[in-house]
Amino acid sequence: MKKLKKGDTIGLVSPANSVDLGKLKSAIENLKSIGFKIKLGKNADKSWYSFAGTDLERAEDINELFKDDEVDGIMCVRGGYGAIRLLNLLDYEMIKNNLKPFIGYSDITSLHMAFSKKCNLKTFHGPMAASNFSGDYTKETLNHFLKVMETNDDYYLENISKELGFYNKLSSKGELIGGNLAVLISSLGTEFDYDYFGKILFLEDIGESTYKIDRMLWQLKNFGVFDKVAAVILGDFANCEKSAESDMSLKEVFDNHFKEFDKPVIFDLESGHCNSMLTLEFGKILEIDGDKRTILVKNKI
């Protein structure tokens, strides 16, 4: 599967909540100024309840953009909620025969999981049009997105503004999967769930009370996910605060789960709902070196 390059056509799709039309217009203008051509899904600017059109309309846009030979890659407009409602409406056989880059994060995790399981499609946990490219978007987000899309060499995954955290000096190698913790939990154990054996699991979230983060991590643990994976990478957990004074802090929740974990655990990776975000390639092999405190993305295997 080819990545995107300037001059390619990006299809914009809204699988979840409806979008502010001003932000959508701004994002389209910005993406064009960067050098991309844009094809807007015919239902991407619609509204039905809180969603960007009905479930059938939103699923139809995804199917049509995968089928469209003029479209080189698909970028989601925004997240929110709604992607999980589309999973039984997508033409996975057709998508499997028309693989192309698919980009998004947050609620889009439902689609990352389904495309991985049903189509073996390597997707991108990366910026979305209205969420990250409207108005005065950050150069760091754009530059890392372009770097990931343009490079065919191995590269180190490095933070933008702060040092990566490592719970231990262990090392491992595996295929990167993951996404938003709360959304991932909603598909756990279903036909759309990941295969976790030997994988490196990335997790991020926003606006969840710390006791809920703790509960979701326990659900993963009780389901055997942490026994199966080769490593865990914790991304940005924006606005995940205590709901009561007696609750654990976010750091205490993570310490409780991972301080004595017998596999590599990295925290504070700048990907997720942060101001400037790293683009991650789900399906790529990562090599974690705990001694050197590095994450190497393998383009050449």
Active-site residue, 106 included:
yes
CB 45 within 8 A of CB 77: no
Alpha-carbon span 179 to 108, nearest angstrom: 8
204 is catalytic: yes
Q: Identify whether the C-beta of residue 182 lies closer than 8 Å to the C-beta of residue 239.
A: no
d(CA 237, CA 208): 8
Q: Give the count of beta carbons closer than 10 Å to the beta carbon of residue 98.
A: 17
Q: Clarify whether 208 is annotated catalytic.
A: no
Helices 250-258 and 210-222: angle between axes, nearest 10 degrees: 20
Distance from C-alpha of 94 to C-alpha of 283, rounded to nearest angstrom: 20
Residues 83 and 64: their CA atoms lie apart, in Å, by 16
- Please pick, among 14, 18, 26, 106, the residue that the annotation labels catalytic: 106
Residue carrying the six token digits 């993951």: 178
- Out of 112, 144, 257, 273, the active site residue is 273
Of the residues 57, 60, 175, 204, which is catalytic?
204
**Residue 20 burial (CB count, 10 A):** 14
Catalytic residue numbers read 106, 204, 273
